[in-house]
Amino acid sequence: MVRAGGGDEPEGRGTAPEGDDAARFSAMLEDSAVDLYENAPCGYLSTLMDGQIAKVNTTLLSWLGYRREELVGRRRFTDLLTVGGRLYHETHFAPLLSMQGEIGGIALELKAADGTRMPVLVTSTVKTSDDGQPLLIRTTLFDARDRRAYETELLRARQEAEEARREADRARRTAEEAHRAVEAERQRLQRLATTLQRTLLPPSLTAPAGLEVAAHYHIASADEVGGDFYDLFPLAHGSWGLFLGDVCGKGAAAAAVTSLARYTLRAAAVYDPDPVAVLANLNTVLTHEYEGTDPRFCTVLFGVLTPDRGTAGFELALAAGGHPPAILLRADGSARHLPTPGGQLIGVIPDPHIATTTVRLDPGDTVLLYTDGLTEAHTTPLGRTGGDGRYGDAALLDFTAALAPTTAPAAIAALQGLLDTLGSGVDDDTALLALSVPHPVSEPKQ
């Protein structure tokens, strides 16, 4: 902006160098003052106080496409504005200018001769006479097309950012919906797994006359069906069959084997209740059904309980196929494994060795059958070393020895507490089955 010293002509002022150079410099500035006004990089406009155009520079004329004589003395400043600009001029620009004597940085739109619009930044000052009377209004107009383009660009960038945010929101909503669908599916599968698990276990165990029975099934994962199973059921002549086992693996494939094992054991026991014959039968079925690189086998204890007529006791004949030994807790407080060494996994080879043992259960005795989910529970936190980090057979024998003498329900309750203590360390399903011979009611407990 050029500050005028007097009249309408701008003056060149400055600290000019001395001597010839100074004279040349001064002359150049004087010479260029008019040119500077006419061809300045901004528009200059002087109007009377009523807005009538008195003087306009070439730059502004070229922007608008008017000839000088079309404007000077014929048009007012507001005639150069768009309708919106005129309104703004009337309501804000002119009142502020007359009040303050100057106004700057106002964005307005000019309307060119050909009707096109041009954004400008307008600054006006009122020139007053020596006695303070307003004489005329000087206005500079800066081309704001670049700035408008910048603002348009900003707006576009903001719109793009908005769109990107909306897109992200949509993606997030889609992901959330997918997550909900997955979660619903997982819950559906959990329900399915729980239902399937229930079909693999007896709803409740009916205790033979003269025996107490308790069982517990610990589900390590709600997502997958485990392969443990047990049952207790009547056979002919007052004897009872019982079994407890563990099919390798988890999931639907293991559940199918568990189901097959359970029904085969019951059917085979009715056909020939000899424990070795029952397990041999199961072995035939499993080896026939599952071959190749997807072998399915199980470890199982099968027993036949026969009441000893004349006493309150029972005889338990046990056959083992690769299963951890049962634990016998005597009325006298002693505890020991019922070893069945050498009994081979059922379902691996055509003619497995099946180990047997027979034990007499008297009043106060308890026998416990379990699967290795308990003995192989992790006892050391992940990443820690020491021992093999598993609960182990010896620890279980010690734990149950402390219970003896006990009863089936008490032993199962204590072992449930143990499973709770081991917590997430129990990463495989665990089945527990306990049988005990109660003391006769008439006979005082020792």
Partner 1 sequence: MTDLRTTVRATPTGPVLEIAGDLDFHSAPGAREVLLGLAPGPGRLLVVDLTGLTFCDSTGITLLLAARNHAVGHQAHIALAGVPAQVARIFDITGLSRVFASYPTAEDAVDRWAARTES
Q: Which residues bind partner 1 (CB under 8 A)?
A: 246, 248-250, 291-297, 299, 321-325, 341-345, 348-349, 352-353, 372, 376, 378, 382-383, 388-390, 427-428
433 DSSP β-pair partners: 215, 369
Contacts of 76 (CB under 8 A, 6+ apart): 47, 50, 51, 52, 53
Does residue 287 contact residue 350 with C-beta atoms inside 8 Å? yes
**Shortest Cβ 205–partner 1 spacing (Å):** 25
Instruction: Give the nearer residue to partner 1 in terms of CB position, either 108 or 279.
Output: 279
Closest CA to 241 of 217, 277, 192: 277
Pairing assessment for the beta strands 117-128 and 240-247 based on DSSP bridges: unpaired
**Shortest Cβ 368–partner 1 spacing (Å):** 16
CA 75 to chain CA centroid, Å, is 70
Instruction: Give the nearer residue to partner 1 in terms of CB position, either 224 or 365.
Output: 224
Tell me how far apart the alpha carbons of residues 398 and 194 are, in angstroms, rounded to a whole number.
33
Tell me how far apart the alpha carbons of residues 370 and 329 are, in angstroms, rounded to a whole number.
14
Please name the helix (run of DSSP H) or strand (run of DSSP E) that holds residue 192, with its range, or none: helix 145-200
Query: Dihedral sign, CA of 46, 52, 58, 61?
Result: positive
Place of tokens 């889609």: 174
Please name the helix (run of DSSP H) or strand (run of DSSP E) that holds residue 199, with its range, or none: helix 145-200
Instruction: Give the nearer residue to partner 1 in terms of CB position, either 179 or 384.
Output: 384
Sheet containing 117-128: which strands, arranged edge to edge? Answer: 53-56, 43-48, 134-143, 117-128, 102-111
- Measured CA to CA in angstroms, residue 150 lies from 94, 109, 146, 156 at distances of 28, 16, 6, 10
Query: Dihedral sign, CA of 406, 409, 411, 414?
Result: negative
